[in-house]
Structure 1
């Protein structure tokens, strides 16, 4: 058994981020929750669950310690990583897994030295069926409908219709094995922060292992600091008008300031809530905020003035990053987690990445950013593997070995001299490593995020400083741990409808004032029901 690449499913479901819709092709509707737990009437049980005890692992001393939600940073990989385990995980039987991936398919088991070495260390054959994220929802639902979920499977919180009921039927209840101090039997799972565990609770039961991200999913406006510095332009703007002026200064010829309209950053600048606002137990969608029209007008003006790349509508994200690295565009909206990824491209000499801290649109101070989801995805144990649940948790515990351990080094960088070379104590991936390691193991089991860039301590410091300037005051989405059945079933559809309107507005095809009617349609077609279900869930959780 070994790696398997999933065939594309013929069905295509609308890929959206539920309550506020999918990313619009130019601007991107954001503020969307990617978390959830419980079902209508189960929130009381959810609150009663004793979440796994958090026991931070202290085996590695970090160079910079984050405060108020900021991730720790490390400048160099430990020179002599210690083994954190003394035996092979699991029960010796082969394990099959189903997971998402954002990378091209790696070589199969017969020609993949990393997979061969991994299986030798595990003591069994790990077979991972990999599905591109764009096809994941359709493939996942096909597997559920056909009762084909394997020993381990990943899913996005709130990402599938009827998720609580599906988990009750298809996943193992792990509450007795993980609740409270029981998790300490799996020390690396106990190392996962409490906030991430909240999204693994559905119907009053713990149904999986969260993959923690801390603040890494928060949005930032990146800038080519090296180019801006050479042209005598700073990385600081004091208002939306100054951002527009900066974009005009950076555009011309075969160069544009922006890869796409940074509508999420603009919404932050206009102090629009992160997805939802809650007051007195009532929920209001950010789509209804009075300054939405101002943010959309600011985005429309950027496009109208030719400051956004003309292929923004159709270009995939890797193409956008190529533009950014080559200097075709100089500003790009992305997540903190994307920061290290820019350095996997062939970067020019002197390449320096920075972040523009968003100002209040009208000036007068710094705008609070939207805090991203603390959890990327969940890994569950399939119902048919219930008799192996404890041993499979051992496997996930092994995969969640913390940064700085020998297990983490191997999982992320493979064999020395084959998959990586050392630059000092830092592992630098070889071409073989970049190809063979893409088995999506980080989506099966992972420890808390540590800000680190092999061979480039200045990158870790820059990212830490950018987070320290923005994360402590970031605005949280109040619906993160609340489940709405309407959101799970209709959120993608109604979100896609309003995303289409947003696109047309940003491209100048429709007037900004059309937004009001689009929001009313969204509310009528399910948005108001989602708000009511969130309010009911919140009331139940409060007892």
Structure 2
């Protein structure tokens, strides 16, 4: 488990405009853009897997997480030398957790500085405060050495900011150049696309789950109806009905209607937000598959299979208890479920693998594989930039390395102790190691699967990931940029989702959907489409 998953889920609400003067840029960049460092096509960083402890369950370049049944007995060194030059590094990063003891009273923070050869001076912001803090720093002109940039639904005018204030990292990390930073070379290509704009690489990405939303269910509940699968939509709804008994206080699904539509859309092989054909984009709202998914959700609601209170805040505990049979989780939240208290003893999880509505296969819509990127201020010269990249390379140390072990568990006898071959944080470690979560939002290890004492769970999730990847489809706009999408996309989509909640619950007719989509198009959807198409065309 890497980043604080609860915190990241809140980032979807970040919206801010970045004020940048003295620069001009337009369009977007992709892995294939024609504006690389030397004017030619951009070469994405070469992928070189970490040559550390062999996982019991191998991962791959497509996003399959490596699985470990035991904690690596002999972590290997992934960084050859102390990366820093003794200077102070400033940074703006995200953090929404318990108070971190200050450096003067935090032995772990002090040891981080020592091992990395720098002094970290970090400023942080949370869900509500990050955009304001980010904008204030940018407007003041004092860009910090490291600036964490939230995903596309967050801060706006990032392309302009990058051109004006960040180092173009293309010559440092594109192609085989990234091999100078072995842990960064361990990032899959899809992860790097988060930092690509205008055909250049503007930062180091923060790896995150490749998997999109999934239905995670209570295994005992679904075993009673022969598993969380079906051959047709009607058969699945029939299973929903069998699992629902309002008088007994049991329901099949959480009352997240928009998320349910997204899951049903995969049964109808719906697109991953956009469909690209012949250079032209079609949004999922404009497809019959999405309409069919809404219709399926309406049938489910009419059958009474959703938990009755849409304002429920403890759905995870309801699923654990079997009161609700399934909930939709992000890909990262899904693989984090076995870390919940009581898992493996009180209950176990099963995962829904979308089937095809017509007897064929369904699809799984992948996520980004990252949570934003960290830009490096262009006030730093080439020598300092290389040093800063080496620092990020250390922070990206993968599971199974000495550096990852240190960053997550600190020093033996102080921040952790070993029990049955695995590290356990001390009381002091629990407090001091919170600093590590601030560092992880600058960059971190790629995802992995490790659940102590839960071999079968590890194997089951790894198998489910393989099954999802077999039917997966990435978004065709990954690595592309639309300013209108960042500026207005979230609000436009929210209006459509408000309608979907009304349609599913019977407050508005499905016949209104066409006019709702027309409003989305005229309100900015068509402009978003145009900007993405222009970016795709530039990529060739």
Q: CA deviation at 1:233?
A: 4.4
Give ranges in structure 1 of 5+ residues lacking alignment: 1-11, 19-37
Specify which of 462, 466, 469 is matched with residue 468 of structure 1.
466
Matched, 1:234 2:266: no
Q: CA deviation at 1:288?
A: 0.4
In the superposition, relative to structure 1, how do residues 308 and 149 fare at CA in structure 2: closer, same or farther (>3 Å)? Answer: farther
Q: Work out the CA distance in 2 between the residues paired with 1:473 and 1:88.
A: 43
Which residue pairs with 1:45 in the alignment? Answer: 35
- Stretch deviating more after TM superposition (85-94 or 164-173): 85-94
Q: Work out the CA distance in 1 between the residues paired with 2:54 and 2:12.
A: 44
Matched, 1:248 2:244: no
In the superposition, relative to structure 1, how do residues 386 and 472 fare at CA in structure 2: closer, same or farther (>3 Å)? Answer: farther
User: Are 1:326 and 1:347, in contact at CA under 8 Å, matched by a contact in 2?
Assistant: no
Which residue pairs with 1:221 in the alignment? Answer: 215
Q: CA deviation at 1:359?
A: 1.9
User: Are 1:213 and 1:449, in contact at CA under 8 Å, matched by a contact in 2?
Assistant: yes
Q: CA deviation at 1:112?
A: 4.2
1:325-340 equivalences in 2 (<5 Å): 325-340=320-335
Give ranges in structure 2 of 5+ residues lacking alignment: 1-9, 17-24
Q: CA deviation at 1:146?
A: 3.4
- Stretch deviating more after TM superposition (429-438 or 160-169): 429-438
In the superposition, relative to structure 1, how do residues 381 and 456 fare at CA in structure 2: closer, same or farther (>3 Å)? Answer: same
Matched, 1:376 2:374: no
Q: Work out the CA distance in 2 between the residues paired with 1:80 and 1:314.
A: 45
Q: Work out the CA distance in 1 between the residues paired with 2:201 and 2:328.
A: 34
- Stretch deviating more after TM superposition (457-466 or 300-309): 300-309
Matched, 1:100 2:94: yes
Give 3-state SS (helix, strand or coil) of 2:217's partner.
strand
Specify which of 359, 362, 365 is matched with residue 355 of structure 2.
359
User: Are 2:68 and 2:449, in contact at CA under 8 Å, matched by a contact in 1?
Assistant: yes
User: Are 2:212 and 2:330, in contact at CA under 8 Å, matched by a contact in 1?
Assistant: yes
* TM-score, scaled to structure 2: 0.85
In the superposition, relative to structure 1, how do residues 250 and 119 fare at CA in structure 2: closer, same or farther (>3 Å)? Answer: farther
Q: Deviations over 1:302-330 (max 9, x none)?
A: 34444323343463xxx332333343322
In the superposition, relative to structure 1, how do residues 226 and 152 fare at CA in structure 2: closer, same or farther (>3 Å)? Answer: same
Matched, 1:179 2:174: yes
User: Are 2:251 and 2:305, in contact at CA under 8 Å, matched by a contact in 1?
Assistant: yes
In the superposition, relative to structure 1, how do residues 268 and 247 fare at CA in structure 2: closer, same or farther (>3 Å)? Answer: same
Which residue pairs with 2:423 in the alignment? Answer: 427
Which residue pairs with 1:414 in the alignment? Answer: 410
Specify which of 431, 437, 440 is matched with residue 438 of structure 2.
440
In the superposition, relative to structure 1, how do residues 243 and 399 fare at CA in structure 2: closer, same or farther (>3 Å)? Answer: same
Q: CA deviation at 1:107?
A: 4.1
Which residue pairs with 1:170 in the alignment? Answer: 165
RMSD, aligned CA: 2.9
Which residue pairs with 1:401 in the alignment? Answer: 397
Q: Work out the CA distance in 1 between the residues paired with 2:233 and 2:142.
A: 51
Q: Work out the CA distance in 2 between the residues paired with 1:282 and 1:454.
A: 48
Q: Deviations over 1:375-419 (max 9, x none)?
A: 222111123445632211111011011210111112123334554
Specify which of 512, 525, 528 is matched with residue 526 of structure 2.
528
Specify which of 177, 196, 201 is matched with residue 196 of structure 2.
201
Give 3-state SS (helix, strand or coil) of 1:513's partner.
helix
Matched, 1:160 2:155: yes
Q: CA deviation at 1:338?
A: 1.6
User: Are 1:98 and 1:130, in contact at CA under 8 Å, matched by a contact in 2?
Assistant: yes
Figure out how many residues of one structure are paired with residues of the other and give that number.
Answer: 506
Q: Work out the CA distance in 2 between the residues paired with 1:254 and 1:131.
A: 41
User: Are 2:484 and 2:528, in contact at CA under 8 Å, matched by a contact in 1?
Assistant: yes
Matched, 1:74 2:68: yes
User: Are 1:16 and 1:492, in contact at CA under 8 Å, matched by a contact in 2?
Assistant: no
Q: CA deviation at 1:468?
A: 1.0
Give 3-state SS (helix, strand or coil) of 1:114's partner.
helix
User: Are 2:52 and 2:75, in contact at CA under 8 Å, matched by a contact in 1?
Assistant: no
- Stretch deviating more after TM superposition (191-200 or 136-145): 136-145
Q: CA deviation at 1:275?
A: 0.7
Give 3-state SS (helix, strand or coil) of 1:237's partner.
coil
Q: Deviations over 1:494-529 (max 9, x none)?
A: 122222222222333222222211111111111111
In the superposition, relative to structure 1, how do residues 429 and 357 fare at CA in structure 2: closer, same or farther (>3 Å)? Answer: farther
Q: Work out the CA distance in 2 between the residues paired with 1:441 and 1:459.
A: 29
Q: Whose RCO is larger (CA < 8 A, sep 6+)? A: 1
Q: Deviations over 1:176-213 (max 9, x none)?
A: 32233322221211222223223322223221011233
User: Are 2:47 and 2:188, in contact at CA under 8 Å, matched by a contact in 1?
Assistant: yes
Which residue pairs with 2:497 in the alignment? Answer: 499
Matched, 1:129 2:126: no
Q: Work out the CA distance in 1 between the residues paired with 2:219 and 2:438.
A: 32
- Stretch deviating more after TM superposition (239-248 or 515-524): 239-248
